Amino acid sequence: MNKRDDFEGIKGLLSIVLFGSKAREDEDDFSDVDIFLLVDDVPQVQITEIINLIKTKLPFNNIGISLYTISTYKQLLLEGSMFLWHLKLEGRILYTKSNLNLYNGLEPFTNFKKNYLIYENLFISAKSSLQKNGLNEYDLSQLFFICRNICLLTCFKLSNPTFGRISVFDNLVSIIESTPLSRDNYIYLSKWRLNYTRAVGFQLDFPTEVKFLEILNEIEALFTVCKEALEIGGQNDREITRNEEVLRRIENR
């Protein structure tokens, strides 16, 4: 692994954080190496130089870079950004300026309703596009993006945040003791996402009309369960919570 001196001389660089599957040590053959960079408020040309330097110094292939300037980062701290919580809970700091406390002042994440509505609207848009344009790789990949993120949001609300591509679904199912969306269909959609975003090359057949309607109905059920959990779930105190009221509503539905 790199030494601190490898990065100390990069002007404008404030911090490097490894996150995602590599940080969790649950990567698979389809995983990228996710790197977060925090930089000073510098011109775009300098940002490009920093990114290129970092890629040459890190001992990884398939690096994906997420980057914020310090002014944007400070605003996200105040907003309790879920992405920053992701970094704090699962990230590994590879480098930081000696006087920088990376997560100092990070507020709790509270925008559950707003984010739920975002994913709900994305689902409506994806269904509309599929009805208009027919089955296609992009919209099927969007369905996975939506399912993964609504699972992530709900797990976070229930004080059991998990961010892995498949583990977030398994975690939600374990918490709510229900499977509104089958695991097979979730994984099937994940393969469309990997094909679209990373050109993995899975040989996939488009679903039959009956199968497609099944998937849409299951996603609707997932939204229903997650909405209930978000309304009456935990307070995101970062303790594992099994909310009995959530379980009772699901059982009595």
The encoded tokens of residue 31 equal 């995983």
Instruction: Give the pLDDT of residue 109.
Output: 93
Indicate the residue type of 115: N
Cα 118 to Cα 41, 159, 231: the distances in Å are 29, 21, 16
Instruction: Give the pLDDT of residue 5.
Output: 73
> Is residue 186 in a domain?
yes
Domain match, 157 and 119 both: yes
Domain match, 78 and 118 both: no
Instruction: Give the pLDDT of residue 107.
Output: 96
Domain match, 27 and 136 both: no
> Is residue 103 in a domain?
no
Residues of the chain with pLDDT under 50: 236-253
> Is residue 126 in a domain?
yes
Whole-number Å distance between alpha carbons of 237 and 157: 9
Per the CB < 8 A criterion, the answer to whether 82 and 109 are in contact is yes
Instruction: Give the pLDDT of residue 241.
Output: 39
114-152, pLDDT tens digit by residue?
Answer: 999 999 999 999 999 999 999 999 999 999 999 999 999
Kind plus residue range of the DSSP H or E element containing 185 = helix 183-198
Indicate the residue type of 163: F
Q: Beta-carbon neighbour count of residue 174 at 10 Å? A: 13
Q: Which domain holds residue 61?
A: 5-96
Domain match, 83 and 126 both: no
Domain match, 120 and 201 both: yes
Domain count of the fold of the chain: 2
> Is residue 102 in a domain?
no
Q: 49, 65, 96 — which closes off a domain?
A: 96
Instruction: Give the pLDDT of residue 215.
Output: 98
Domain match, 133 and 225 both: yes
Instruction: Give the pLDDT of residue 242.
Output: 41
CATH number for the domain harbouring residue 132? 1.20.120
* DSSP output for 112-139: HHHHHHHHHHHHHHHHHHHHHH-S-HHH
Give the list of residues 6+ apart from residue 102 with CB closer than 8 angstroms, or none: 15, 17, 38, 87, 88, 93, 96
Domain match, 158 and 67 both: no
Q: 64, 96, 128 — which closes off a domain?
A: 96
Domain match, 150 and 191 both: yes
Listed residue (228, 223, 229, 184) closest to 207, CA to CA: 184
> Is residue 204 in a domain?
yes
What secondary structure letter does DSSP report for 233?
Answer: S
> Is residue 117 in a domain?
yes
> What's the Rg (C-alpha) of the chain?
20
Cα 3 to Cα 7, 59, 78, 96: the distances in Å are 8, 12, 31, 11
Instruction: Give the pLDDT of residue 99.
Output: 83
Q: 65, 96, 127 — which closes off a domain?
A: 96
Listed residue (36, 156, 23, 149) closest to 90, CA to CA: 23
Instruction: Give the pLDDT of residue 62.
Output: 86
Helical pair 244-252 and 209-232, crossing angle rounded to 10 deg: 140
pTM: 0.83
Q: Beta-carbon neighbour count of residue 29 at 10 Å? A: 5
Domain match, 117 and 68 both: no
Residue in the block written with tokens 């004080």: 159
Kind plus residue range of the DSSP H or E element containing 63 = strand 63-69
Domain match, 122 and 246 both: yes
Domain match, 144 and 178 both: yes
CATH number for the domain harbouring residue 46? 3.30.460
Which residues partner with 188 through β-bridges? Answer: none
Whole-number Å distance between alpha carbons of 230 and 153: 8
